[in-house]
Amino acid sequence: MIGFIVAGLIIGALARLIKPGKQNLSILATLGLGLVGSVIGGLIATALGTGSIWELNVLGFILAVVAAVLLIGVAESLTGRKQINA
């Protein structure tokens, strides 16, 4: 469980670094978007047959970061670039 949270923070932080511009996201919002991104990336990687959703693999990690970047974009568009409080 702790590993899942740490992975979510890392994925969320990487997504924020990749996404251009300044995001007004709290640490909890970054964690939440990273966790959701990691689940989405893991599910896609599992569907492609690269392993289980619970194991760390390169394709799943890359897909998780991409999903988190997209989620940050969606969150920004829904809030009108206001701060996201999670």
The two three-digit tokens of residue 64, written as one number: 């998780």
Split at pLDDT 50, 70, 90, the class of 85 is: low
pLDDT digits (tens, 9 = 90+) for 10-55: 888 888 888 877 777 788 888 888 889 888 888 888 888 887 777 7
Helix (H/G/I), strand (E/B), else coil: 68: helix
By CB atoms closer than 10 A (0-12, 13-18, 19+), residue 30 is buried
pTM: 0.78
Task: Inform me whether the pLDDT recorded for 65 exceeds 70.
Answer: yes
